[in-house]
A and B are shown apart, each in its own frame.
Chain A
């Protein structure tokens, strides 16, 4: 049964009639056509569906819409155009951190969530912050390099 759910999506106050048991991932991708979160495993193990909920990284495949009532949700679509996003984009380009690209939105979101909380993470902290995000192409080192570049490039921004 649908319920009125109010939340802030990428900076905009949003009210929708939706089943509270619907996955946040399906709401974003199918109802709202925000397709940056991807469905990889669908069980919270791969991080491809990562979004930011009240400033924290979460897997949108495991979040029922009822749990975003009154919350702030950020997807890649909401970051595009910001300084922070541009830094991450350039850094991922520069490091060669993108191959097939399926994990990339999740990796960017997880990196963004890390850097907004910790502007100068060391390698262990970067690896730990991205440990819930799987990549089958790069072998991870290039993604870790990308975050290190983003730390430097964004010195006064994060």
Chain B
């Protein structure tokens, strides 16, 4: 029996960005980069074509999207860059490599892209807490416009973001800043291929016992990554001693934002408890 409601899906495989933007301008599409998430989420029984319900735009053949470079203000990563490509690049700081090394498995990292991880906008996305901590900017392009937005304004909820139908993310831009403290923990059931129960990133710049800058981000404990500029501003400029004296208050403030769920991977109580333990441990590490 022929299912008449099933329309034939068109696949576009442009070789440059301009061509891709033209397609986006005309047609409503699913954008596919590495495919590691879409191919699984849209999986059909073995042997059958995965269920893509819209025309699909492949961006893997676009060379312009595979660049990693520094300019005066940013470290730029193209939307076509795989996590392995990012990790193997000499200009990428070690703390980014550390986070990537915990992402899925080597086979997935060799195909999956960082921008794909952002656009999936999973509360448990492995690169997201780091990108929030670094205040990464997302470069959005359409045929006629481009705009730069902070990742915290780009992701609006689980699986949701502000991208319009005629837009795509072309690049992720990481502000060039100096940090001398980095603390990261992904809590999962296995070392490889685990979806995190929760994750934590703490980065800081410390000089003469004073915290000059600090960024704290929690993953998988709320609909989007938890990061508070207000709490961070409370900590900045303080000595370790002063931070220690307001620690209880800081924890209390973060607890207001940490609202995890119970699911098959973990539960609320554990997620909250471990998140706070990691925060306390990060504060200890600041003075090392």
Q: Is the interface of B mostly helix, strand, loop or mixed?
A: loop
Interface members, chain B 29-72 (any A CB < 8 Å): 32, 34-36, 39-40, 43, 46-50, 52, 56, 58, 60-61
Chain B residues in 8 Å Cβ range of A56: 84, 110
A3 proximal to B (CB < 8 A): yes
B267 proximal to A (CB < 8 A): no
Known: A20-B11, A42-B43, A43-B43. A63 touches B106 (CB 8 A): no
Digitize A113-152: 1 where CB-to-B-CB distance is under 8 Å, 0 elsewhere: 1000000000000001101100000000000000000000
Interface members, chain B 255-272 (any A CB < 8 Å): none
Number of A-B contacts (CB under 8 A): 108
Known: A1-B8, A44-B40. A63 touches B49 (CB 8 A): no
B243 proximal to A (CB < 8 A): no
Known: A1-B11, A3-B13. A132 touches B46 (CB 8 A): no
Contact yes or no, A58 B11, CB < 8 A: no
Closest Cβ of chain B: how far from A133's Cβ, in Å? 8
A72 proximal to B (CB < 8 A): no
Contact yes or no, B106 A66, CB < 8 A: no
A62 proximal to B (CB < 8 A): yes
How far is B52's CA from A64's CA once the two chains are assembled, in angstroms? 12
How far is B8's CA from A21's CA once the two chains are assembled, in angstroms? 12
For A66, the closest partner residue in chain B by CB is B58
Chain B residues in 8 Å Cβ range of A44: 36, 40, 104-105, 107-108, 193
Contact yes or no, A58 B61, CB < 8 A: no
A47 proximal to B (CB < 8 A): yes
5 nearest A-B pairs in the assembled complex, by CB-CB distance: A132-B105, A131-B192, A56-B110, A62-B36, A20-B11
Known: A43-B43, A59-B108, A67-B58. 6 other contacts (CB 8 A): A3-B11, A42-B40, A44-B107, A47-B107, A62-B35, A131-B192
